[in-house]
């Protein structure tokens, strides 16, 4: 891992999810890591078993009070926070499926998907800003999705998910510009994990060939490679699991 601090703290939002869990397990083996901070929303039982020094939190990124309580606790427990990955997100749920056509759109579903995939990431970044180091390489990544690329949209459909990820990318872009003014060595980027075998992708993986459906472990290893090799020159960009650049 390049340009990494010794004794750094890392934070993974959504460490109870398929990719977040694998990211946490992968990171926990890093001997330079001082403390791994991990959040879950509804499934604390799915957090990885503590390896080394870790701290767990319950957090709903769509709830302002929950964010405030989390930040207060994190402030007391974290130091030298150099790596933040937001792996929270939603694609489907009870009464919620990606739309195939305009007629499928519902305001309620649009609000739910935007709240979790975009507004929550934005509000958390806003709340975390005072805790960010003012010098030295500091990396922040939100898990976006290639389908959030407007340039790459050739199939249509999945209105809420696509649009929420496109909006998330714009938040990341703006934050990258502002955060770089506070710390010139800031790296704030969006990442696409590939198509990964998790609860989120489960209803949609039937036709996907095995070699194109990644395990969470494979995706996490590749995402961490991309993230830890990223430099301040990469700030404000969108990268896939293999390091290729994705247009917004």
Ligand X SMILES: NC(=O)c1ccc[n+]([C@@H]2O[C@H](COP(=O)([O-])OP(=O)(O)OC[C@H]3O[C@@H](n4cnc5c(N)ncnc54)[C@H](OP(=O)(O)O)[C@@H]3O)[C@@H](O)[C@H]2O)c1
**Other CB atoms within 10 Å distance of the CB of residue 19:** 28
Tokens encoding 162: 């696509």
8-state DSSP, 236: T
- 184 vs 203, beta carbon nearer ligand X: 203
The residue among 3 and 195 lying less far from ligand X, judged by its C-beta, is 195
CB of 14 to ligand X, least distance (A): 3
Task: Report how far apart the first and last C-alpha atoms of the chain are (Å, whole number).
Answer: 26
d(CA 206, CA 209): 8
Q: Which is nearer to ligand X, 43 or 135 (CB)?
A: 43
Residue 121 CB partners (closer than 8 Å, separation 6+): 61, 86, 88, 142, 168, 171, 172
H or E element: which one contains 36? strand 33-40
Q: How far is the CB of 142 from ligand X (least distance, A)?
A: 8
Contact 47, 15 (CB under 8 A): yes
> Cβ 62 to ligand X, closest distance in Å?
4
Compute the least distance from the CB of residue 79 to ligand X, in Å. 23
The Cα–Cα gap between 165 and 148 comes to 5
Q: Where along the sequence are the contacts to ligand X (CB under 6 A)?
A: 14, 16-20, 40-43, 46, 59-62, 87-91, 116, 120, 143, 145, 192-193, 195-196, 198-201
**84 or 137: CB nearest ligand X:** 84
Please, what is the minimum distance in Å from the beta carbon of residue 92 to ligand X? 9
Q: What is the closest distance, in whole angstroms, from the C-beta atom of residue 135 to ligand X in the complex?
A: 30
Length of the chain: 248
On whether the CB atoms of residues 41 and 14 are closer than 8 A, the answer is yes
Structure tokens at 117: 């995939």
Which C-beta is closer to ligand X: that of 134 or that of 212? Answer: 212
Nearer to ligand X, 25 or 185 (CB): 25
């Amino acid at each position: 891992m390049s340009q990494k601090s010794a004794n750094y703290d890392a934070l993974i939002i959504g460490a109870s999810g398929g990719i977040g869990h694998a990211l946490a397990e992968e990171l926990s083996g890093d001997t330079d890591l001082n403390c791994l901070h991990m959040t879950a929303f509804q499934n604390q039982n799915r957090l990885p078993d503590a390896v080394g020094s870790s701290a767990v939190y319950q957090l709903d990124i769509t709830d302002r009070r929950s964010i405030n309580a989390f930040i207060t606790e994190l402030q007391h427990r974290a130091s030298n926070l150099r790596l933040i990955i937001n792996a929270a997100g939603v694609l489907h749920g009870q009464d919620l499926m990606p739309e195939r056509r305009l007629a499928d759109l519902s305001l309620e579903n649009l609000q739910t998907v935007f709240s979790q995939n975009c507004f929550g990431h934005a509000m958390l970044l806003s709340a975390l800003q005072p805790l960010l180091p003012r010098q030295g390489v500091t990396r922040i990544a939100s898990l976006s999705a290639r389908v959030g690329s407007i340039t790459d949209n050739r199939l249509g459909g999945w209105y809420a998910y696509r649009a929420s990820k496109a909006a998330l990318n714009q938040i990341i872009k703006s934050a990258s510009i502002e955060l770089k003014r506070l710390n010139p060595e800031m790296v704030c980027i969006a990442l696409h994990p590939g198509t990964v075998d998790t609860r989120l992708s489960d209803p949609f993986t039937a036709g996907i060939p095995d070699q194109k459906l990644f395990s969470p472990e494979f995706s996490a290893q590749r995402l961490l490679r991309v993230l830890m090799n990223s430099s301040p020159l990469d700030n404000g960009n969108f990268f896939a699991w293999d390091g290729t650049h994705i247009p917004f």
